[in-house]
Structures are given as C-alpha cells and as structure tokens.
C-alpha cells in the first residue's frame, strides 16, 4: 500500500462525557484518544468518529476512505442505526478491516458479521488479566512477550458465544478461575475482523504499551489486501459445454 | 438420543404450485416430498412446514420440538418474517441443527448465521455436476463414493461468499470451468449448520439416491448434542480473588 | 456400526510396576485399568496392550481389529519401535481413531501425526485444574457441565506446540497463572485424533467420573466413519479431454 | 523487517541436467532459475541450493540465514538426508517459512510437517488447469484475478491427503473432471507452510507471470513474524499457589 493506512477510530463516547462516571476521570479526552494517538504514532492516518456524530461519523464517504475501522461500544449498542450497520458490514465484505474491542462483542455489527450472540460471563472486579499468546506465528503477536498482564480489568469468561475463530491468537487467564478466547481473527469476504478483549472504561487499559502494541499489530493485520473483487451473477461458461443429452 | 430424531422439512413451496413452472412437473407433490420420505425411511420423525403456513409453520412450539430443520428457499426469501428468522437463529444457537439446501444461500437465516452475503456465480444450464469428497473422515461422507455425478443441475461457482467452513466436506466440478465448495459445515453456539449445494427446482435432484444419502447423513450430523447450556451473566468468582492492590 | 466399538487401551505401564514410584500406589492395576473398565461399561469391546508386550501389543493384526486406540506414554517414548509408529500412523490415515492422553504429547506417534514437537510448560505441583468447555456443539462435550475441576494435577501451560486444532473443545485454567488447550481434535486422512490433557500418573485422575465421561465421549467421536477409501494413482480422465493444442 | 527477505530456492535439479529429459529443454538453467529471478526482482535476497550440493545446500548455517525456503522435489525424495529433514523442520517450528511446490507433496519434509501421506491422483496429460481464488481476503491472493489458467499442466486430483488447511486459498479445476485444493496454508510453531500445486517439470509453468506472482505473494506471507519464542520447560508458578489440601 503506497498511502498511509487510513484508520477510523470509532467510540461510543458517552461514559467519558458523564462527569459522574469513573470513565470521565480515566479517559478525560475519551477512550479514543490513546488509541488514535498510538495508531498515528505508528504512521497511520487516523480520524475519530463517535456515536453522537451525524450518521455516527460513518457516512458512505467516511467508510469509503477507511481501510480499518476500530470500534468500542458498550452501553448504547441499540442506538446505532441499522443503516449504518448495513453499510459497515458491506464495507467489511468488500475489504475493510474491523477491530472489535472489549464490550463490542455485544454490538450489532459484531453479531451481524459473526451470526452469534457474542454473549459471555462477566464480573466487574478489577481483577488481574493474564493474556497468553497461543499462535506465535501470527502477525498480531509480533514483538509480544509470551504472556502479559493487565493489572486491573473486568473479567470476561467462557463460554464466549462466537464461531470457532479462524485464527485463535490469545487466551486470557483470570484469578477468579475463568479463561477466555481474547484474541480472535475472522475472515469475511475480502475483509477481516479481529476481536481483542481488554478495555473496560474504568481502567486505564488503553494507556498500556503492550495493549497498544496489540492494537497496532491488529490494525496492520486488518489492512485490506488486494484480492480479486468478486463477480456474482449469471455467467456464461468459461469452457464449451458438452451438448445436453 | 432415545427418541427418534425430529426433523422439520421446510420448503418455500411456491414454484411447485404454479402449473406454468417446470417445478410443478418435476416435483408435483412439492420438493419437500422426496426429502421427507427419505428422512422418514431413515427412521426419523418428520413434519413438513412451508412459507404459506401460519408463521411459516415455524412457531415457537414447532421449533421447540424440532431437532433438525432442513430449509429450501429460492425466490421468496424476502417473504420470510424477521421474527421467524430471529427465532430460528435462537434455536440454532441453543442446539437445533440447520440444513441449508441449494438456493437457501440467499435466505435471511443463512446470511444471519454466517454474516456474509452468500453470493455466488450461477448459470441455469442443466450442466453435469461432479461432487468430490475432500474430507473422508467426516460423518456426512459416510457410505459415499469418492465422487458422484448429478446429470443435470444449475451451476454455482466460486467465489462463494461464506466464512471459511469449519468443516469442508465436498467440492463440486462443473464442465463450464467452475468449482464450488458444495458441502460446508459450521458450528454456531450449541448448534450446527450444514450447507449442501444441489437441488435446483427444475431438475429431479432430490430423487437421486446419493443426494438423499448425503441429506440423511447431514441431518444425523446436525442432531443436537448434549453439550452444556451456557451461563451468560454477571458471575461471582470460582476461586477466591486476591485482595485488590 | 453393527458391532461393538473395538478399543485398544495402550499403556506404557512401567511407572506402575515400580514399587518405589507413587504411581504403583495410585494405579496398582495399571493406569489402563480404570480406562478399560469405563470403556467396557460403555458397551465397547476393550483389549489392553502395553509397551513391554511383543510388538508393544500393536501387531498388524491387532491394529486391523482396532477401531480406536487410546495411548498413554510418558517416560519411555523412545522405546516405541519406529515400525510400530509407522503402522499406527498408517491405520489412523485409514480410519482408526487415536486418543492421545496427557504426556502422550511427547510420543513419537503424536509428533508424527501433527508435525510439531508437542512441547509445553509443565510443573508437578498437585495444582487444581479447571477445564472449561469452549465448543458446546461438540460430541466430546456431551453431558458435561460447563466446567469441571480435577483437584490435583500436573500443570501443563501454553505455548503448546501443536497445529491449530481443527476442533478446540476445552481450555484448562491453573491457579499458578497458566492456560492450556486441553481438548483438541484433528482430522487426518480417514481418521481422527483427539488430545485430552489430564492424567498424571501420581494423581487418581482416571478414576474421576467426569474425566472418564470425556474419555468415553472422545472414543465415540473417534470411531471410524464409512467415508470413501482414497484412490491414489495415475488415473484416466472422467470427462473426455479436449484435444491438446 | 529492515533487511531484505532472505530466500533459499531449493531444487532437486536432476531432471533438468538429463539431456534426454524434456525438462532439460523447458528449464535449461534449472527450474530454480525463473523462481530465483522473480524473487530477486521482487527485492528479495535469493540463493539457490540443490540436492547434489553438500548437505543439499542446507547446512545449519544456511538455514540460520534463510527466512523462507522454497522447495521443489519430485523423483528423488528418498535421497534427502533425514538429518537435513530434521533441521528444516526445526527451523520451520522456529519461524522459517516453507513454500512447498507441486510434487513436493511427496517429500519427506512435507509429510513430516503435516503428518499425512500427501498422496493424490495424477495424470500427465498436458491438460489445462484453471485455478480459482476462494479466499479473497488472503495475502497470497494479492493482485490476482478471480481465476487464472495454466494452459498445460499435469493433473492432480482429490482426495489430497493433507490435514484440513488452516487457510484454503485456491482450488483447481481440470477438464478431465477433477478438482484439487491447490493453495493451502498451514501454521506450525512460529513458522508457516504454504503448498502451491502447479509446476510440472515438462511445462513452462514457472515462466508464467501469474504463477510467479502467487509465488512472490506466498513467500512474503511466509516471512517469519516476530512472535514470542516459546519457553518449554519446568516452570515455577506466576501466581502464588494456594496451599495443597
């Protein structure tokens, strides 16, 4: 790709604007801020879009100029317009990458692309999360240690209602006894989706350098390829058909 | 399973009732008839449901008593009520098997469970289809020859817009130069989906004994297991949490 | 299958015969004894074979009459004759199932069929193991709870040097901070392999009813199918070839 | 990667040196020549190694400086020393990529890394091969058309005795009625393997620009990542173990 990778960092951005919510203190400039900053520092061309922007900041024109879309949603999945979900899905099938972060497992677009509920166990406990790399050949694991710790996070536990990942890269351990498939790649049409678990709004997870490394790696892996555009319709034969008996 | 497998054979059933449509001559009793008959002969308890039945014959009660649902749809995918699609999806995630036949690749329920368009190339030519088994360890291949021929079929060609199958069992060859992933298994929640390509309404494909063998095999493979029901919610830890620093 | 499933329970059977080894007290009749008993109780026809039997109890004739082979090896992998490994591999490719238990991850036959080292982290600590079901649609999960505990086991931790499993059914949690892909299915030719982690020789794991349930489930899943035997050689065309330009 | 990708192009190189073999006329400078040339033109640092070099040109030092190894073997698989096979396998598990071309499906290293026979059907007929892209999201498909034709090739047909590919990118169609999974990716340890079918020694396949594009793409995809090196041994716990009851 000769141009810089064009990334849209999408954020629900409501918790952080509520002065009574802990997120407003942890992420005073919004959860998108550290993500956008890390991606820009990695040489990408970054724009931010949020739920309360017109068309959620995801117009046809916006998406046409987006190579990879990162998505963080939590409490307002229902407020995302179905027309925007349709549009994002179509762009993924046409090649755009989608990085689904943390509670985005409940978002319409996540369920739409995977066909499952995204449900899971959860506990808001500030527990330690230990993330193990289980596919050391995968680009998302580039430069990572064999495991890393996030000191305080929300717990997510299996069963995680997603299809078997095409690429299972990471598994989380929690002290309360749970495990979780926390780094999962999927291929859909010409595009790809990656789910990365950490990122509860009340912990400073998105300031953690290893977490940001995973996110940069994942966005690179999600960059659109140049595979063939599909031809879907009634087609004449490529070879002469034998006469029909 | 101590009871006979309970199968609902669902059919759009409009082509066959139109006396001007070739399907009315090939399948005078409906495309569901040979399927239902083969499944019953294999010892299953079979009922038939169609698009024009109340609630399409797929009420909550109907689905609750269905272990495996087979689905043939073609020209009226849009007429299927979204509420019924929701309900079928929920039942699959809860364990019901779904056998998606032929043009069902365009049905709402197929797109819903897979997250892709299901699009493909096609040609209505009466071409020969040669189907190769590429996973000889798979239960859907039980008792089959290494390849078999359907003398006249509609052609479906790649690219087929589906996720990479969890189980790729069959690949079709067509004389016009195309190939197609024609036997594809997917796991979703506690349930499974199998897609089997053949079955255009103007050819007597569903009277072919090998095709019927595949369908019986697939329904058996799709039978609900007795895996654990998921527990999805806020959960106390199973192990004592260390004190939060 | 009309006959009872024919299972050969293979055991290294040296630890247990050493009166100074703890295994001799935990498994006085050999680690194969509780496995053979559970499989027989499930209606299978069971024989036992051990390392020190002639040809390790795995002659051509023995294997020809074996539908599923279960294997427990640990300290004497090198003592298994290569000719026997060749023969077991050939039988798996021809349809026999192989259940690889615990430290069998280091056995020649395991490395042979998977192509990787099978290496892992380990700690002999008597730690608790908590095993989570992550594929609730899988026959190996039949009748299991969503997670179960083995009170004292050896720890195995990631990275586990195996190919990405075709079917990932279980993930283990250990209190020392590790996770492990502990229930892994693979398809090889007409046959299948399942790896199940628990079973250190100094703990009574193979008397645990849930563990035995997994083993019975896995053996059933590994039963040979009736997929087509392959035809591998120089073959005339099935369709008339066009003249070569 | 800051340095140029270091590629070793390995060739059996016996057919071409036999003046009575058609390969000597099609590839007078060896089958490695067009491959090496295309890879060098793509900016890679290329060396050539052949069966009859000392240690087959694959000493420990050679492999230590190889990022991706391409391999073409056919009639002399048995002449490859087992010690070299061991060494190549170890390097793949440690991160080196391996591109297995055409009849390399019968090579020791191929069987070693996959665990299966690599067997298939074949016919030396100069038939047309039509290769379809079935994973349009995959880097190996970069810049390719949706299908391309090789005018004259040897036919390879299913069943192809390999594990289900982790990434199935291409399927071939042959006029004689066969299909073949002809572009297959596998992950092994920190490394990857890609199998690409075309390349019979009596046809000028490796002068075809689209075929060379696939090979360049595949080598790029096979480039070693920077995932964590594994730690495999007896390990103290990362978390304090609860007292053993």
The residue of A146, A157, A164, A168 whose CB has the most chain C CBs within 10 angstroms, and thus the best one to mutate to test that interface, is A164
The 10s digit of each residue's pLDDT in B57-113 is 999 999 999 999 999 999 999 999 999 999 999 999 999 999 999 999 999 999 999
Q: Is A163 on the interface with B (CB under 8 A)?
A: yes
Residue C244, pLDDT > 80, answer: no
Tell me, what DSSP letter sits at residue D222? Answer: H
Q: For D205, list phi and psi in degrees, rounded to 5.
A: -55, -40
Give residue A107's pLDDT.
98
Task: Please report which helix (H) or strand (E) contains residue C173, including its range.
Answer: strand C167-173
pTM of the entire predicted model: 0.98
Tell me, yes or no, if C235 comes closer than 8 A to chain D by beta carbon.
Answer: yes
Cβ neighbours of B124 in A, within 8 Å: 234
C43 at the A interface (CB within 8 A)?
Answer: no
pLDDT at B1 over 60: no
Looking up tokens 């790809």, which residue turns up? A192
Tens digits of residue pLDDT in C68-117? 999 999 999 999 999 999 999 999 999 999 999 999 999 999 999 999 99
For each of the domains in chain B, give its residue range(s) and CATH number, in order of start. 6-117+183-222 (3.40.50.880)
Q: Does B127 touch chain D (CB under 8 A)?
A: no
Could C115 and D188 be called an inter-chain contact, meaning their C-beta atoms sit closer than 8 Å? yes
* Cα dist from A33 to A11, A19, A207, whole Å: 10, 17, 10
- A86 CB contacts (<8 Å, ≥6 apart)? none
Secondary structure of A183-226 as H, E, C letters: EEEEEECCEEEEEECCCCCCCCHHHCHHHHHHHHHHHHHHCCCC
Rounded to the nearest angstrom, the minimum Cα separation between D163 and chain C is 6
**CB contact C109 to D (< 8 Å):** no
Query: Using 50, 70 and 90 to split pLDDT, how confident is the model at D222?
Result: very high
Using an 8 Å CB-CB cutoff, list chain B residues near C227. Answer: 133, 135-138, 141-142, 144
Residue A1 pLDDT greater than 60, yes or no: no
Distances, alpha carbon D12 to alpha carbons A218, A240, D50, in Å:
39, 38, 5
State percent of chain C over pLDDT 70.
Answer: 98
Q: Report, as an integer, the average pLDDT of A101-107.
A: 98
Confidence of residue A242 (pLDDT cuts 50, 70, 90): confident
Residues of B in contact with A166 (CB under 8 A): 163-164
Q: Which residues of A touch D175 (CB under 8 A)?
A: 239
Query: Which of D225, D232, D233 should one mutate to test binding to chain A, selecting the residue with the greatest count of A CBs within 10 A?
Result: D225
Which residue(s) pair with C153 in the sheet? C127
Place of tokens 């299996």: A158
H helices within chain D, ranges in order? 23-26, 32-41, 60-64, 82-93, 108-114, 209-222
What mean pLDDT do residues D82-91 have?
A: 98
Paired strand residues for D133: D170
> Closest by alpha carbon to A165, among A195, A206, A132?
A195
User: In the numeric block, which tokens belong to residue C183?
Assistant: 């229930």
Is A175's CB within 8 Å of B236's CB?
Answer: no
Q: Closest-CA residue in chain C for A130?
A: C177
Among A136, A168, A178, the residue with its CB nearest the CB of C173 is A178
Say how far apart CA C146 and CA B140 lie, in whole Å.
28
The 10s digit of each residue's pLDDT in C198-207 is: 999 999 999 9
B167 near D CB under 8 A:
yes
Chain C within 8 Å of A133 (Cβ-Cβ)?
A: yes
Out of A188, A232, A244, the one facing B120 most closely (by C-beta) is A232
Chain C residue with minimal CA distance to D153? Answer: C244
pLDDT at B3 over 90: no
Which three-class secondary structure string do you get for chain B? CCCCCEEEEEECCCHHHCCCCCHHHHCCCCCHHHHHHHHHHCCCEEEEEECCCHHHHCCHHHHHCCCEEEEECCCCHHHCCHHHHHHHHHHHHCCCEEEEEHHHHHCHHHHHHHCCCCCCEEEEEEEEEEEEECCCCCHHHCCCCCEEEEEEEEEEECCCCCCCCCEEEEEEECCCCCEEEEEEEEEECCEEEEEECCCCCCCCHHHCHHHHHHHHHHHHHHCCCCCCCCCCCECCCCCCCCCCC
Give percent above pLDDT 90 in chain C: 95
Q: How far is B193 from chain D (nearest CA, A)?
A: 18
Query: Which residues of chain B neighbour A232 with C-beta distances below 8 Å?
Result: 117, 119-121, 159, 161
Do C171 and A179 count as a contact with CB atoms less than 8 A apart? yes
D91 interfacial to chain A (CB closer than 8 Å): no
pLDDT above 90 for A3: no
Q: How far is A30 from chain C (nearest CA, A)?
A: 32
D85: pLDDT strictly greater than 90: yes
Whether the pLDDT of residue D156 is over 60: the answer is yes
pLDDT at D245: 60
- Cβ-based contacts of D191 with chain A (< 8 Å): 137
Alpha-carbon gap, residue A213 to D97, rounded angstroms:
24
Q: Summarize pLDDT for C28-67 with one digit per residue, the tens.
A: 999 999 999 999 999 999 999 999 999 999 999 999 999 9
Q: What rounded mean pLDDT belongs to chain A?
A: 97
CB contact under 8 A, C168 and A173: no
Q: What is the mean pLDDT of residues B16-22?
A: 97
Residue D1 has pLDDT above 60, yes or no: no
**pLDDT grade, residue D3 (50/70/90)?**
confident
Residue A2: what pLDDT?
A: 59
Residue C165 in contact with residue C184, Cβ under 8 Å? Answer: yes
* Residue D231 near chain A (CB below 8 Å): yes
CA distance B41 to chain A (A): 32
pLDDT tens digits for range A173-215: 999 999 999 999 999 999 999 999 999 999 999 999 999 999 9
Residues B110-165: pLDDT tens digits? 999 999 999 999 999 999 999 999 999 999 999 999 999 999 999 999 999 999 99
Closest partner residue to B134 (CB to CB) among D130, D134, D159 is D159
Q: What is the CA radius of gyration of chain B?
A: 19
Q: Does A242 touch chain D (CB under 8 A)?
A: no
Least confident stretch, A230-244, B192-206, C149-163, D31-45: A230-244
Tokens of C188: 């090889």
Average pLDDT value for residue range D111-124: 97
Query: Is residue D183 within 8 Å of residue D222, measured between CB atoms?
Result: no
- d(CA A85, CA D57) in angstroms, rounded, equals 55
Angle (deg, nearest 10), helices D209-222 and D32-41:
70
Least reliable range by pLDDT among A60-74, C1-15, C118-132, C150-164: C1-15
Provide mean pLDDT across the span D39-58: 98
């Amino acid at each position: 790709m000769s141009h810089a990778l064009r990334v849209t960092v999408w954020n629900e951005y409501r918790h952080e604007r509520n002065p009574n919510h802990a997120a407003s203190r942890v992420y005073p400039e919004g959860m998108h801020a550290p993500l956008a900053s890390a991606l820009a520092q990695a040489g990408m061309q970054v724009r931010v879009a949020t739920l309360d922007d017109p068309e959620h900041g995801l117009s046809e024109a916006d998406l046409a100029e987006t190579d990879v879309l990162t998505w963080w949603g939590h409490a307002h999945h229902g407020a995302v317009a179905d027309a925007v979900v349709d549009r994002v899905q179509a762009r993924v099938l046409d090649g755009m990458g989608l990085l689904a972060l943390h509670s985005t497992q409940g978002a319409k677009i996540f369920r739409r692309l995977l066909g499952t509920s995204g449900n899971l166990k959860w506990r808001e406990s500030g527990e330690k999360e230990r993330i193990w790399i289980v596919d050391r050949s995968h680009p998302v694991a580039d430069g990572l240690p064999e495991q890393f710790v996030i000191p305080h996070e929300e717990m997510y536990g299996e069963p995680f209602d997603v299809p078997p990942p095409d690429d299972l890269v990471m598994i989380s351990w929690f002290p309360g006894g749970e495990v979780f498939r926390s780094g999962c790649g999927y291929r859909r049409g010409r595009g790809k989706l990656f789910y990365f678990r950490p990122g509860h709004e009340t912990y400073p997870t998105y300031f953690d350098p290893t977490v940001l490394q995973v996110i940069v790696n994942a966005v690179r892996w999600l960059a659109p390829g140049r595979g063939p555009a599909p031809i879907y319709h009634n087609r004449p034969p490529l070879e002469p058909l034998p006469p029909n008996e």
